[in-house]
């Protein structure tokens, strides 16, 4: 079957992708980026909306999209990132909270973007985007596994929600159990990556 | 008669001309169906944000993170594999790969195969993956028959039973440590005297027994350097001499990605497996 490329006002559709041309609503406006007097809660809401708008780009599967939504809700509403960071790093963050948010949004946008790869540019920005996508995809898989683990809580005294989501005991003491090691090792690497990229994934 | 015929003829011609005067509507002016104008909504293809070229992307503030130079990005982006103790999927660079090795044919031998950990992850063949912690592996050594690669067990090409596989539980970790260190020795010996200018995200391998941190992120002005301290493995490590001999900077031996990716990942795995501190 021969596929045609269909062009509409908002998108270009080929046999593999729907490429959305209008990108404005996924980025914070210039005035928001420049306005440093903006209250933190307002800024958080602005970024939260932008992250949520990227939901259709994450995957065609509902399960993956829901994992992304749950992950965002947890990151914005529950997670104490300062506590998580302080387990590995004693120094304060290197950049402002706003910059970390912007870098995280940039990371996700790069992960869901399409940049035509040419022979000359094969290892340039397009390769960087591919790596962002691979890291992001693995991150969602691990989040799904972690959430499943929390929901499978047995009858014992252990409280996986507190361990993995609130107190981060899996990062403090990864050798305590096999599950702690698996999730802890991953989260430690992610904390190092966040530190190097100035993100908050 | 002639007159009436003429009138009728004129009338018919006029009527026909009138019909012909109405031109057919051009296709462009027909309003398009929303099925076509909003095709992206129901095309059911994977959605992506479209950027024409690198410049457009950079102009919008999406910087190049240079992830190919970052060891953590490289490990976190590796393909997911199922870990055998927890049954969780984890990036494979954070796990130990296990493979089946054929034992030499000896008459009356109890085992024909041996399960061995591999220092360097090999592509192809059937393998299984185990978490990277010496303490936990030692604790769960009883479960070792469940570490045998399932695809190999189910294979129709070669039939064998679990009891045919020899697993050296007592020396499993020692074997892994030995193989990894031997491989690292040979790879580090190949390292030539590269230029010793530190770049952002350069990796420094040092042997600092006084320092209890195996992995550290050092800030040096605008640069961030990742320090891997082999001193945490103990003074008996054969890597000590090589690291000290090959040292090309005040801080230690400087390595860089993507050139030394294999060595750096192996060193990380070794430290994560055998040292308790971070």
Which candidate from A106, A114, A138 shows the least CB-CB separation from B48? Answer: A114
The edge-to-edge listing of strands for the beta sheet with A113-114 is A6-7, A11-13, A17-20, B46-50, A113-114
Q: What is the DSSP string of A54-114?
A: THHHH-SSHHHHHHHHHHHHIIIII--HHHHHHHH--SPPSS-HHHHHHHHHHHHHHHTEE
B-chain CB neighbours of A185 within 8 Å are: 90, 94, 131-132, 272
pTM: predicted TM-score of the whole model, two decimal places: 0.88
The per-residue pLDDT for A86 is 94
Residue at A9 is within a domain: no
Which candidate from A21, A27, A102 shows the least CB-CB separation from B50? Answer: A21
Residue at A17 is within a domain: no
> Which chain A residue shows the shortest CA-CA distance from B70?
A193
Residue with tokens 């050296």: B168
Closest C-alpha among B246, B244, B270, B267 to residue B257: B267
Closest C-alpha among B258, B211, B204, B260 to residue B232: B211
For residue A78, the distance in angstroms to the closest alpha carbon of chain B comes to 24
Q: Which residue has better confidence, A18 or B232? A: A18
Residue at A4 is within a domain: no
For residue A179, the distance in angstroms to the closest alpha carbon of chain B comes to 6
Is pLDDT above 90 for A168?
Answer: yes
Helix/strand/coil for A43: helix
Q: What is the mean pLDDT of each run of 10 residues along chain B (278 residues)?
A: 74 61 67 82 90 88 91 95 92 92 79 86 85 91 86 76 82 88 87 77 87 88 89 73 82 86 92 77
Closest C-alpha among B93, B214, B217, B269 to residue A197: B217
Alpha carbons A112 and B1: distance in angstroms, whole number: 83
Mean pLDDT, residues A95-112: 93
Q: Any idea what DSSP says for residue B162?
A: G
**ipTM score for this prediction:** 0.93
Residue at A190 is within a domain: yes
The per-residue pLDDT for B193 is 67
Q: What token pair was written down for B262?
A: 């294999």
User: What's the total number of domains in chain A?
Assistant: 1
Residue at A14 is within a domain: no
Those residues whose C-beta lies under 8 Å from the C-beta of residue A38, and which sit 6 or more positions away, are A32, A46
- Answer yes or no: are the C-beta atoms of A115 and B57 closer than 8 Å: yes
For residue B18, the distance in angstroms to the closest alpha carbon of chain A comes to 38
Give the alpha-carbon dihedral of A18, A75, A66, A39, to 10 degrees: -60
What percent of chain A shows pLDDT beyond 70?
94
What phi-psi label fits residue B61: left (phi over 0), alpha (psi between -120 and 50 degrees) or beta?
Answer: left
Q: Which residue has better confidence, B120 or A70? A: A70
Does the beta-carbon distance from A185 to B62 stay under 8 Å?
no
- Answer yes or no: are the C-beta atoms of A179 and A142 closer than 8 Å: no
The per-residue pLDDT for A82 is 94
**Can you give the residue range of the structural domain that contains A94?**
25-197
For residue B217, the distance in angstroms to the closest alpha carbon of chain A comes to 8
Residue to test with chain A: of B55, B69, B71, B73, most A Cβ within 10 A = B73
Does the beta-carbon distance from A190 to B43 stay under 8 Å?
no
């Amino acid at each position: 079957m021969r596929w045609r490329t269909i062009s509409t006002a908002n998108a270009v559709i080929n046999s593999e992708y729907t490429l959305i041309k209008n990108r404005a609503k996924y980025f914070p406006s210039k005035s928001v980026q420049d306005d440093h007097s903006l209250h933190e809660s307002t800024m958080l809401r602005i970024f939260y909306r932008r992250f949520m708008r990227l939901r259709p780009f994450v995957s065609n599967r509902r399960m993956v999209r829901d994992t992304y939504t749950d992950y965002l809700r947890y990151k914005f509403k529950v997670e104490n990132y300062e506590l998580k960071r302080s387990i590995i790093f004693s120094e304060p963050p290197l950049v402002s909270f706003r910059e970390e948010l912007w870098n995280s949004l940039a990371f996700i946008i790069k992960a869901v973007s399409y940049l035509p790869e040419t022979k000359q540019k094969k290892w340039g920005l397009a390769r960087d985007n591919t790596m962002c996508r691979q890291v992001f995809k693995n991150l969602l898989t691990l989040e799904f596994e972690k959430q499943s683990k929390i929901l499978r809580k047995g009858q014992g005294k252990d409280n996986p929600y507190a361990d993995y989501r609130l107190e981060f005991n899996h990062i403090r003491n990864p050798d305590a159990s096999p599950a702690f090691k698996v999730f802890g090792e991953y989260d430690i690497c992610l904390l190092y990556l966040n530190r190097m990229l100035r993100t908050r994934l | 008669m002639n007159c009436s015929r003429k009138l009728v003829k004129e009338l018919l011609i006029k009527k026909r001309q009138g019909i012909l005067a109405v031109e057919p509507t051009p296709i462009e002016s027909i309003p398009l169906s929303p099925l076509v104008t909003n095709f992206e909504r129901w095309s059911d293809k994977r959605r992506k944000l479209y950027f024409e070229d690198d410049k457009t992307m950079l102009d919008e503030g999406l910087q190049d993170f240079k992830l190919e130079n970052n060891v953590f990005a490289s490990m976190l982006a590796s393909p997911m594999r199922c870990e055998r103790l927890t049954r969780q999927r984890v990036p494979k660079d954070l796990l130990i790969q296990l493979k089946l090795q054929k034992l030499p044919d000896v008459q009356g031998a109890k085992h024909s195969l041996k399960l061995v950990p591999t220092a360097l992850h090999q592509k192809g063949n059937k393998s299984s993956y185990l978490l990277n912690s010496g303490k936990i592996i030692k604790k769960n050594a009883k479960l070792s028959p469940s570490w045998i690669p399932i695809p190999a067990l189910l294979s129709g090409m070669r039939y064998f039973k679990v009891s045919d596989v020899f697993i050296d539980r007592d020396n499993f970790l020692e074997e892994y440590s030995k193989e990894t260190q031997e491989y690292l020795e040979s790879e580090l010996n190949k390292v030539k005297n590269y230029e010793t200018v530190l770049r952002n995200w350069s990796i420094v391998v040092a042997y600092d027994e006084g320092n209890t941190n195996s992995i550290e992120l050092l800030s040096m002005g605008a640069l961030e350097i990742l320090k891997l301290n082999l001193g945490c493995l103990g003074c008996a490590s054969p890597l000590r001499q090589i690291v000290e001999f090959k040292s090309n900077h005040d801080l230690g031996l400087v390595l860089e990605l993507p050139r030394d990716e294999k060595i750096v990942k192996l060193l990380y795995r070794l430290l994560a497996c055998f040292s308790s501190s971070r």
